[in-house]
Amino acid sequence: MATTRHPISLAHLTVLDTTPPELVTVAAAAGFRTIGIRLTATPSVGIPPYDILRDGPILRETLLRLADTGVSVLDTEFLRFEPDQPVGVPEGFLEVSARLGAKNVLVMSAEPDEARTIERFGDLCDRAAAYGLQVCLEFAVYTGVRTLAHAAQVVAKAKRPNASVLVDALHFSRSGGIPAHIGQVDPALLRYAQICDASADVPAPTDTRALIREARTGRLLPGEGALPLAELVAALPAGVPLAIEAPCRATAELPAVERARRAYRALSGLVG
């Protein structure tokens, strides 16, 4: 059976030094037709502060550039359930996601209690459904939802029609995942995936700081590392979008458009 080519998307984290309007322009220049936008920006070194969660200049300019370029929004991110923060969804997040035309919103959970994660996830799904949004639960070994199997279990228990699981190639690998595990999950739960490569030097599963550091600044482009990406992509449902999320310290000083072009070439080579 012929394989359906996977649409490719640029995740904001790959060029996190761009504001949302800049991200649209950079993605279009690099050849991407879809993007993921980080709506909740935490200002830090190299990351510009911006406010897109209200009807202000940033949101209006982003909408204008999306219309001008024809670029669409695959997902918005990211939401995180914290045990000490009962409000897990910033005001305006779902409304703005819908205005941007996003199809999915991404959430992770730091809740140590599974029942609490399921409760909060179900509530988010209900709220997102009113905006026509799918909710994708991302897992990582250092969060409250550690593996693909655990994420699928949480989604199954939540029993929401707009619930799905997000497979991030790095988190999947670092949690012990191998491509064969993909087939153990209902393919309907896999709406899209995030792709990057990674070093053969694997941080210890208990070294949370090293794992987070790798996830934020130590990823590699497909073909530059040791992950079995071709096998992973082959195991995913045919035609699901693949978003490249590959922030890398070694190339951080390059212009954003050059990093985006390199990401486009690497991901295109993987799926082509």
- Cα–Cα dist 12/243, whole Å: 9
- Cα–Cα dist 241/75, whole Å: 11
Task: Give the pLDDT of residue 1.
Answer: 29
For 58, counting Cβ atoms within 10 Å of its Cβ (0-12 exposed, 13-18 middle, 19+ buried), the class is: middle
Percentage of residues in the chain with pLDDT exceeding 90?
A: 92
**How do residues 121-146 score in pLDDT, each as one tens digit?**
999 999 999 999 999 999 999 999 99
**Cα dihedral 22, 260, 74, 166 sign:** negative
pTM above 0.85, yes or no: yes
Q: Across all residues in the chain, what is the average pLDDT? A: 94
Q: How confident is the model at residue 46 (pLDDT cuts 50, 70, 90)?
A: low
Task: Give the pLDDT of residue 42.
Answer: 65
- Tokens 């029942």: give the residue: 115
**How do residues 84-99 score in pLDDT, each as one tens digit?**
888 789 999 999 999 9
Q: What distance lies between CA 10 and its chain's CA centroid?
A: 9
- Cα–Cα dist 28/34, whole Å: 8
117: closest CA among 68, 82, 164?
82
Residue 4 has pLDDT above 80, yes or no: no
Residue 252 has pLDDT above 60, yes or no: yes
Residue 40 has pLDDT above 90, yes or no: no
Residue 107 near residue 75 (C-beta atoms within 8 A): no
Higher per-residue pLDDT: 251 or 78:
251
43-50 mean pLDDT: 69
Residue 177 near residue 148 (C-beta atoms within 8 A): yes
**How do residues 173-212 score in pLDDT, each as one tens digit?**
999 999 999 999 999 999 999 999 999 999 998 999 999 9
For 147, counting Cβ atoms within 10 Å of its Cβ (0-12 exposed, 13-18 middle, 19+ buried), the class is: middle
Percentage of residues in the chain with pLDDT exceeding 70?
A: 96
- Cα–Cα dist 108/140, whole Å: 8
